[in-house]
Chain A
Amino acid sequence: MFRPVLTPDIPFFGDLAVCLILVSAAYTLALSLGAASGRAHLLVAARAGTFATCGFVLMAVAVLAYAFQTHDFRITYVARYSDRSMPWWYLVTSLWGGQDGSLLWWTFLMSGYTAALTVWMRGRYVELQPYVLATLMGIFLFFGILLLFPANPFATYLDGGPADGEGLNPLLQNYWMAIHPPSLYMGFVGWSVPFSIVFAALLSGRLDNEWVHMARPWAMVTWAFLSLGLLLGCLWSYEELGWGGYWAWDPVENASFMPWLTGTAYLHSALIQERRSMLKVWNVFLICLTFFMTIFGTFLTRSGLIASVHAFAQSDIGTYFVWFMVFLAVVITAAILYRLPKLVGTHRIESMLSREFAFLVNNWILLGMTVGVLGATLWPKISDFVYGEEATVGPPFFNEWMTPLGLALLFLAGLGPLIAWRKASGRSLLMSLRAPAITAVVAGAVHALVGGMIGRPAIVNGETIYGGGLGAIMGVFHDAAPLVSSVTCGFVAASIVQEFARGAAVRMRKGESLFTALFKLVARARRRYGGYVVHLGIVFMFVGFTGAAYDRTEEAALLPGGTMDLGEYDLQYEGPRREVDPTKQMIFTDMLLTRHGAASGQRVSPAKFIYRLRPEMPTTEVAIHSRPSEDLYVIMATVDPQTRRATFQVKVRPLVWWIWFGGMLVLLGCVISLWPRTVDLLRAEDARAKGPGKRALRLATTAFVALLLAFLASLPAWASAQADSSSLHAGTVVIHDDEERQLFHTLLCDCGSCERLALDTCACSWAEDKRAELRARMAAGEPNETLIRSYRAQYGDASISIPSDEGSRKVLWVGPLVALVLGGGAVVVMGRRWQRAYAEATDARAAEPAVAPTAADAGYESALEDELRRHEDES
């Protein structure tokens, strides 16, 4: 056992480090403000101060990690989130397992970004630097204050602390907790860098395209991490929560989805600004909004404002966040208004049939989705406030609205790249559309003809959540959603493949082989083709989402030797098996898997884990047998040690595999798009100064990318691995038919202790009793609507997963819909106006007398040719 040589007063050092962070951040803030007036020595001082601040953050994190490793239970946080039996790696993950620590962890990641940014900025963006540093230090100050007052991870017990800690919740003791929160945090925290850059541009008034270039790699890296974090969140949910789904539209999930949506919108609209110097206000706004959303998301998950299965315990930290958000909103609005004259540029577009306009539509849909998700996430609070009644907005509501928007977005992702910048002529666009359109029709036809035979019909009998005309329209759309999805996926995939093919063809005409042509094509326009790979990944993810329409579930209670049969699969139960390790008891139930009557020799072993410290909370370990066509998802509900009889629930989830595959393509696309060109990393001037430095940098980036690729490559292994962890709702739900599922899907458990899961997932005894009661009434012939109405009457509005849409409550969906329609109108009106502006400008130019080309002109012309040739050679 490690025995410290001297017993340092660790809590004191921790507090000291936090105080030093504050002091150093304040000092650096002052310096950078001073440097803003152009005093170079102050900028140098501010840069050093930034590094110092980051150093203090490192110290604080390391001190806390040390306290965990040495079981310093004087510290409340350590005692609450660890115990003596935990292995060292869980002691490390405990760093972000609880609220206070996770805020410190947040600060730590931000210091990583900040240090990297400061190094990267050396010798360039000199005017922006002071403001960038000042903004970042402001954010540090906020987190420093949080760490010192409401969320101090170094707070101690007054009486010296317990002998052993409470231990980390078994739910958090799995490798997901080791990788999911850090990558999600990386995706959240990172937005403070683009934000500080844009805010610096606002403060300094340097609002040309400089900041867009500067922010791009940082926005892209952060976006990639956010995507990775979301993907891992889905995997975690799928593997650990044991309900068979990957996304539940939970407030915490939504909180990370919203910055992703606005961030995606930014990545695209930034392209317009780079090309056309337009949309400056909009881009500034999007970055600020994305950053704001990350803070808002953190607030949502920390304040306990909205109940969620993932949320941290409620605390008074919310007040601090509210004030910070108010401050941010005021400051951002003021800065934008102040700079408005500099921001509004001349907006002109040649044609509404142009890439520019496609990007506008893309932004419109993404923002529409954000508004919808935001409104629905906040609805419970709004409803409470306005109507004095709690309400719940469950997955059916989200699915209803997000599916059509998602598919529209996907379609546009296929169409957009086919449209040329500035002006697409109808003829060449039609040419480009031919192959994708044919593919789409073929994909749809094949699906319609063959799908039904293999249990994947193109038209399904989906759910209708609302009555009335709109409800009926949406119901029809949802019935046809699988067909629409396969048509769209076919279209988009074909258009992307065509983009690669046409690009390669151009190069092959110059005599390159297919492989070289493809390679060089991607290498010389990494950004574009990386983006296309991202799009392709999204297509595959949609294929996976579509599979959800064909989910099947079976239940069985078996004695050893018994078999259950699900179409092509046979599962033979062999018997229970018990294993023990220092922290828990594990009971596996082995089942032999047979497919098409041929024994595969494969076993699936769903299990229950009983943790030593929390025996009352056994966890359910699902076993997943994953194949591209479908996943077999096996849950063991109960096992009787005497009779060895076990009850199982088996889900067949088609195409889920493609979600993970698509997700990896998305990340691969990000890597391609970001793959640094040394020329971009170091300006020519710096490159001149640092020969070996350049090589080291190239080496480092290669190593980094290799690591990232290795990481990506290992993802599928995780996806099919069996996890060492647990489920929030131990137990199993038995659903007999679709009608039942529809009903239980809509009703929420009211046991008071389970965060209102739907009756089709909640396994607590209250829910079990309720299901039995409802089944009896269904059997007696009561229709679903009556049952829902009486359920609502009995347990209140909040017990229904689809919020009431009576009277003014319609605003929940009418609001976003109106916003969407108005936004669409605005996009079209703006497009028209810009087009007119262009036409007028062109006329004016035509009226001017032509200037005869001068000799100097010819010189510049040939210089330009030189440049173009060099550009060509470089690639």
Chain B
Amino acid sequence: MNDVIPWFFLTLAAAGLLTALFFLWQSIRAALGVVEVGVGDNADRDRARLLERKAALVDGIADLRFEHDAGKITTEDFAVVDAQMRAEAKEVLRALDEELTPYRAEAERLIEAHLAGSSLSSDASGLLSGDGDAEGADTRRASSRPPARRASVPAPGEADADAAAPPRRRRSRPSASDSGSRDNHLLCPQCMAPNVPEAEFCVECQARVAPLPCGACETVNDADATFCKKCGAALSARDGVEGRPS
């Protein structure tokens, strides 16, 4: 025992030093711009704040109802306050929706560029029907889309919130399915529910969970990918959305 303890502390000191030096090295590299970084864009963060506010309001409304049920607030007061909070919450939902407008413009631009530049221009329809997945991704971020809007808003707009999304989000995706297969089941990219490995659609939310092979180069892509990670082709509707249960 007496020998082990000093060694322990000596090792700890060395570990501290090495850790520090390692991070210092990382830090200098990052500061000099040697490593590439992505920290998300502004719109993304505003969105996060709106989502936070929405969560707080939903929490508040639910709590108010609970206090009413528990007999702490009279029905009249409850009605007044509840209406106020609901109005606020709807305001936030609307703002969340408007948030997406710039994404739509950006997406439109990307589609144009893609159609002009790609030899696979015939795949425009594929891109549009990629909407199903994108919609999934979108709800996942916002989780506030009024169901009514699905029908009322033109699909291309939806499609690409995701295409214009910051690199971080795209990068994170492969690891989702990687980790899923590591555990011998597929985690749904949308709702995180575990699915059997051979599942094609999520048992919980019906989003696609099976990997998506690229029609052009046959590279296997993530279930919710919109473009092939290798050749950049828009992912075909064939295995994607059309077969999706309603």
Chain A residues in contact with chain B, CB under 8 A?
1-2, 4, 13, 17, 20, 24, 27-28, 31, 40-49, 51-63, 65-66, 69-70, 88, 123-124, 126-127, 208-210, 213, 274-275, 418, 420-425, 427-428, 431-432, 502-503, 505-506, 509, 525, 683-693, 855-864, 866-868, 870-872
CB distance from B145 to the nearest CB of A (A): 7
Given contacts A210-B52, A418-B72, contact A690 B175 (CB under 8 A): yes
Set of chain B residues within 8 Å of A124, measured between Cβ atoms: 48
Q: Is the CB of B40 within 8 A of A123?
A: yes
Q: Is the CB of B141 within 8 A of A685?
A: yes
Q: Which of the residues B3, B9, B29, B168 comes within 8 Å of A66, measured between beta carbons?
A: B9
Set of chain B residues within 8 Å of A54, measured between Cβ atoms: 20
Q: Is the CB of A425 within 8 A of B23?
A: no
User: Which of B59-67, B106-114, B116-124, B127-135 participates in binding chain A?
Assistant: B59-67
Q: Is the CB of A687 within 8 A of B23?
A: no
Q: Which of the residues B28, B48, B56, B74 comes within 8 Å of A427, measured between beta carbons?
A: B74
Set of chain A residues within 8 Å of B53, measured between Cβ atoms: 209
Q: Is the CB of A871 within 8 A of B59?
A: yes
Q: Which of the residues B30, B59, B140 comes within 8 Å of A684, measured between beta carbons?
A: B140
Residue of B nearest to A53 (CB): B20
Q: Is the CB of B24 within 8 A of A24?
A: yes
Chain B residues in contact with chain A, CB under 8 A?
1-3, 5-7, 9-10, 12-24, 26-31, 33, 35, 37-40, 45, 48-49, 52-54, 56, 58-64, 66-67, 69-74, 76-77, 81, 86, 89-90, 93-94, 140-141, 143-149, 168-169, 172-173, 175-176, 179-180, 182-183, 187, 189, 192
Set of chain A residues within 8 Å of B70, measured between Cβ atoms: 502-503, 505-506
Q: List 27 A-B contacts (CB under 8 A).
A: A58-B12, A59-B16, A66-B6, A69-B9, A124-B48, A126-B45, A208-B49, A209-B52, A210-B49, A213-B52, A422-B77, A425-B74, A431-B71, A502-B71, A506-B66, A684-B140, A688-B187, A689-B172, A690-B175, A859-B147, A859-B149, A860-B94, A862-B146, A864-B58, A864-B93, A867-B89, A868-B61
Residue of B nearest to A686 (CB): B172
Q: Is the CB of A63 within 8 A of B40?
A: no
Q: Which of the residues A58, A432, A867 comes within 8 Å of B19, measured between beta carbons?
A: A58
Set of chain B residues within 8 Å of A857, measured between Cβ atoms: 90
Q: Which of the residues B12, B27, B38, B148 comes within 8 Å of A31, measured between beta carbons?
A: B27
Residue of B nearest to A91 (CB): B5
Given contacts A69-B5, A127-B45, A692-B182, contact A41 B74 (CB under 8 A): no
User: With A and B bound together, what is the CA distance between A432 and B72 in angstroms?
Assistant: 7
Set of chain A residues within 8 Å of B59, measured between Cβ atoms: 871
Set of chain A residues within 8 Å of B3, measured between Cβ atoms: 2
Given contacts A66-B13, A866-B147, contact A871 B66 (CB under 8 A): no
Given contacts A66-B10, A685-B169, A867-B144, contact A44 B2 (CB under 8 A): no
Set of chain B residues within 8 Å of A855, measured between Cβ atoms: 148
User: With A and B bound together, what is the CA distance between A210 and B169 in angstroms?
Assistant: 22
Q: Which of the residues A4, A47, A62 comes within 8 Å of B16, measured between beta carbons?
A: A62
Set of chain B residues within 8 Å of A41, measured between Cβ atoms: 30-31, 33, 35, 37
Q: A51-B23, A422-B81 are in contact. List 11 more A-B contacts (CB 8 A).
A: A41-B31, A55-B23, A59-B14, A66-B13, A127-B45, A208-B49, A432-B71, A685-B172, A692-B179, A692-B182, A859-B146
Q: Is the CB of B15 within 8 A of A691?
A: no
User: With A and B bound together, what is the CA distance between A13 and B14 in angstroms?
Assistant: 11
Q: Is the CB of A864 within 8 A of B90?
A: yes
CB distance from A503 to the nearest CB of B (A): 6
Q: Is the CB of B54 within 8 A of A867?
A: yes
Q: Which of the residues B18, B24, B37 comes within 8 Å of A49, measured between beta carbons?
A: B24
User: With A and B bound together, what is the CA distance between A502 and B67 in angstroms?
Assistant: 9
User: With A and B bound together, what is the CA distance between A127 and B45 in angstroms?
Assistant: 9
CB distance from A403 to the nearest CB of B (A): 31
CB distance from A214 to the nearest CB of B (A): 10
CB distance from A868 to the nearest CB of B (A): 6
User: With A and B bound together, what is the CA distance between A834 and B146 in angstroms?
Assistant: 36
User: With A and B bound together, what is the CA distance between A432 and B10 in angstroms?
Assistant: 62
Q: Is the CB of A56 within 8 A of B146?
A: no
CB distance from A866 to the nearest CB of B (A): 7
Set of chain A residues within 8 Å of B64, measured between Cβ atoms: 421
Set of chain A residues within 8 Å of B72, measured between Cβ atoms: 418, 420, 424, 428, 432, 502
Q: Is the CB of B16 within 8 A of A428?
A: no
